[in-house]
Structure 1
Amino acid sequence: MNLKNKLSFVFLVVLVNFNFLLAQQRDRTSSTDSISNYSTYKRALSFGGVMQTRYVYSLTDNTDIDGKNYISSDETAITNTFTVKRARILVKANINDHFSANILVNLADFSGNPTNKVLENAYIKYSQSNYFHVQVGQFRPAFGVEDALSVDVIRTLDFSNQYYSFGKNGWQSFQIGMSVFGDLTKKGDLRYFMGVYNGNNKTQKSDDNNGKNGYLRLETDIVKNFTLGANVATGSIATSGTGYAYGVDLTARLPLSNKFQLLLMAEAKIGSNFLEYNAATADDTVIIKSALSDYNMHGFYFLPTLKYDLQSKRIRAIEFSSRYEYLDDNYKLNSNARQTIIPNLSLIFADDYYAALQMGVSIDWYKKEVPLTTTNSHNLAYVQLQIRF
């Protein structure tokens, strides 16, 4: 074969391979290109929820189930009761591969005054990729490890006292606004969460001032099974002026053996207490008003959980936990630290907390007690059953 024929043969082989590769490229894109309307692509509707019912009994004399001190002759005080704490229904609708909607309601709130309650999540979410998600509506701003956990998984009696105090002051819990979040690395070991919201809590017709709260959270998996989070936020409530909040948290999941696993959660926060400040400035007896920066709350908690994977047909696991928490709602001007210990035993009948029976004691004590109020050291025993679906 002469040189010309050799070159022709090589050219033919290259041309055939090029056409083959081109055909493969066309085949790979043809399935995508064939979708001319993404309106219903991956459309789906799903339902879920959680039921949590409990029995509580006050172990402290002259103290009701809410921790309020009462006169011994008060026969109206309730020292034990059955109650439904949560009856949540979740509806999630995937419109297509980018848009979705999420609605979460707590029907248990109808047992009391439902004003500004019941509706919890109500947001629209757009997902471009793992690096960029945006949601608008009512949701929980990511301002701590408890916001990162599923809202329908309660590993002990309840969320921390810190969570509720910061929630009442607009720093976390359910708020109305917009957030953006996603991965910062291809491996997903560094994540960001940021957003703006009204800051006057859930199910409100509008904001209570023209300012908006803003937050930023960064999470990183520093090593395998260890996640470190850092939070910063700024905001206000009504006429309080601008305040700030900061926090750090750590979660760790440590396999000790084939059967035992240790889960560690710890979190510390400091932030402006708008409610205390607004209440003080509204008092005409206060001649010299302290600055908002003097109305601060701070606290931390530590929650170790030891899990034994029994993995029998009916009892999947047994967990023992004991949360310790320290919280002071106004430590600069009127310090009265509250400490809480909650030893808890959980029997898990279905994986991932789809069925769990929990029992324990909530032990609360205050540095300074105030008679006939809930600022009263007390102990509360509980047994609760929760079902996810």
Structure 2
Amino acid sequence: MKYFYFFLIILLISPFIAFAQQKDRTRLSDTLKNYSAYKRKLSFAGVLQTRYVLALDKNIDINGKNFDPDASKAVTNSFLVKRARIMVKGDINDHFSANILANLAEFSSDPTNKVLENAYIKYTLNQYFHIQAGQFRPFFGIEDIMAVDIIRTLDFSNQYYAFGKNGWQSFQTGLSVLGNVIPGGKLRYFAGVYNGNNKNQPSDDNNTKNLYGRLEADFLKDFTIGVNAGTGSLAASGVGQAYGADATVKIPLSKKIDLLLMAEYKKGANFLAYNADKQTLRPALSEYQMQGFYLFPTLRYNHQSRRLRAMEFSCRYEYFDENNKLASNPRQTLIPNMSLIFADDFYAALQIGVAIDRFKNQVPLTTTYNRNLGYVQLQIRF
């Protein structure tokens, strides 16, 4: 008899249980009428990068400038805080978000036009279409695609900073769209329009906007090729062009050892050199060209112990010429580096290396001078 009552109770309450489960299962998809705060959240992140640098050559300071020992008291070694970045991301709902990135280390010097880096609003429709407006890094090469808070060696390449100063990359203000061309992300596109006069400016410095486009494709597993093209201007320079290509590949050599290879080539107009030339009859803008390439091999040993996650040994080689047609003086840079990674994804890493710079023609009492800079660098992401 007791089993009869037990089954009777189950039969009586089962419709209510089923109704409750059905109501809960369809609550979001069928009954949600207001998406204002759907998936709303606020997240914080950051990176702190400190380093000790030592000039390894006589009469060379930590900035690579040759000096006269009788006339200057130059600094040849120093502790530095290179980056102290705070990142804030606010997801308004499942489509809208706001992103802010500030580098507080810039307050250690003149902070004018420096501190604020990312400041943009992003709208995500689906995997094929994202649009962002504000201040961001145009996707114009490998170093723009990688996370801004992951530095695998001493710093970004020389070409990255030169192209950034000329408005081709680094932090710029404008509008960009990006997304997958085909499902799964094997082919991706990036395109945009922006001022091209660098970050934290009150407005553009002319009426011409910079345009850029990039296609990125995964041909094989862990093998990616990208191509870039752009057009733009800076101040009264007139319109110039830039383009480039890059490749990345990851090759597993054993269960714990991987070889990472990155290579990039870029060529583009040097607006700064053109605007600085005060000749009455100066050459056309097309003659003021900068170009360069680098190869960045990294051998990674995945130690995977509780405290030491990995070790990386790398040696980036770069060839860069800031004015290769009119005043060619190529700079070659070699940076052997060892990284001890104490937390996955570079959340804690100690790096030791030497930056070796060689110029075809040295200019005394300037930074265009052969030098070797030793460094020990500690970076923490959070």
TM range (shorter): over 0.9
TM-score, normalised on structure 2?
A: 0.93
Q: Which residue of 1 aligns with 2:98?
A: 101
- Rounded to whole Å, the distance in 2 between the matches of 1:163 and 1:75 is 31
1:353 aligns with 2:346: yes
Q: Which moved more, 1:26-35 or 1:239-248?
A: 26-35
- Per the TM alignment, residue 76 of structure 1 is displaced from its structure 2 partner at its CA by 1.8
- Which amino acid letter does the alignment assign opposite residue 80 of structure 2? T
Q: Which residue of 1 aligns with 2:59?
A: 62
- Per the TM alignment, residue 288 of structure 1 is displaced from its structure 2 partner at its CA by 2.0
**Which one of 300, 306, 322 corresponds to residue 299 of structure 2?**
306
- Per the TM alignment, residue 259 of structure 1 is displaced from its structure 2 partner at its CA by 0.7
**Which one of 193, 198, 213 corresponds to residue 196 of structure 1?**
193
Q: CA RMSD in A?
A: 1.4
- Which amino acid letter does the alignment assign opposite residue 235 of structure 2? A
Q: Which residue of 2 aligns with 1:78?
A: 75
1:113 aligns with 2:118: no
1:115-134 aligned within 5 A: 115-134=112-131
- Rounded to whole Å, the distance in 1 between the matches of 2:222 and 2:207 is 42
**Which one of 306, 311, 317 corresponds to residue 318 of structure 1?**
311
Q: Which residue of 1 aligns with 2:223?
A: 226
Deviations along 1:109-163, one digit per CA (max 9) or x if unpaired, are 0000000000000000000000000000000000001000000000000000000
1:138 aligns with 2:135: yes
**Which one of 139, 145, 149 corresponds to residue 148 of structure 1?**
145
- Which amino acid letter does the alignment assign opposite residue 128 of structure 1? L
Q: Which residue of 1 aligns with 2:253?
A: 256
- Per the TM alignment, residue 28 of structure 1 is displaced from its structure 2 partner at its CA by 7.7
- Per the TM alignment, residue 30 of structure 1 is displaced from its structure 2 partner at its CA by 6.0
- Per the TM alignment, residue 287 of structure 1 is displaced from its structure 2 partner at its CA by 3.2
- Per the TM alignment, residue 31 of structure 1 is displaced from its structure 2 partner at its CA by 3.6
Q: Which residue of 2 aligns with 1:332?
A: 325
- Which amino acid letter does the alignment assign opposite residue 39 of structure 2? K
Q: Which residue of 2 aligns with 1:208?
A: 205
Q: Which moved more, 1:83-92 or 1:31-40?
A: 31-40
Q: Which residue of 1 aligns with 2:271?
A: 274
- Per the TM alignment, residue 34 of structure 1 is displaced from its structure 2 partner at its CA by 0.7
- Which amino acid letter does the alignment assign opposite residue 287 of structure 1? T
Deviations along 1:331-381, one digit per CA (max 9) or x if unpaired, are 000000000000000000001000000000000010011110001110000
- SS of 1:32's equivalent? helix
TM-score, normalised on structure 1?
A: 0.91
- Rounded to whole Å, the distance in 2 between the matches of 1:377 and 1:265 is 25
- Per the TM alignment, residue 169 of structure 1 is displaced from its structure 2 partner at its CA by 0.2
Q: Number of residue pairs matched?
A: 362
- Per the TM alignment, residue 258 of structure 1 is displaced from its structure 2 partner at its CA by 0.7
Runs of at least 5 residues in structure 1 that lack an aligned partner in the other structure: 1-24
- Per the TM alignment, residue 29 of structure 1 is displaced from its structure 2 partner at its CA by 6.3
- Per the TM alignment, residue 74 of structure 1 is displaced from its structure 2 partner at its CA by 3.7
- Rounded to whole Å, the distance in 1 between the matches of 2:74 and 2:154 is 22
1:362 aligns with 2:362: no
Q: Which residue of 2 aligns with 1:384?
A: 377
Q: Which residue of 2 aligns with 1:294?
A: 287
- SS of 1:289's equivalent? coil
- Rounded to whole Å, the distance in 1 between the matches of 2:107 and 2:83 is 11
- Rounded to whole Å, the distance in 2 between the matches of 1:42 and 1:254 is 38
Q: Which residue of 1 aligns with 2:35?
A: 38
- Rounded to whole Å, the distance in 1 between the matches of 2:24 and 2:185 is 31
- SS of 2:37's equivalent? coil
- SS of 1:277's equivalent? helix
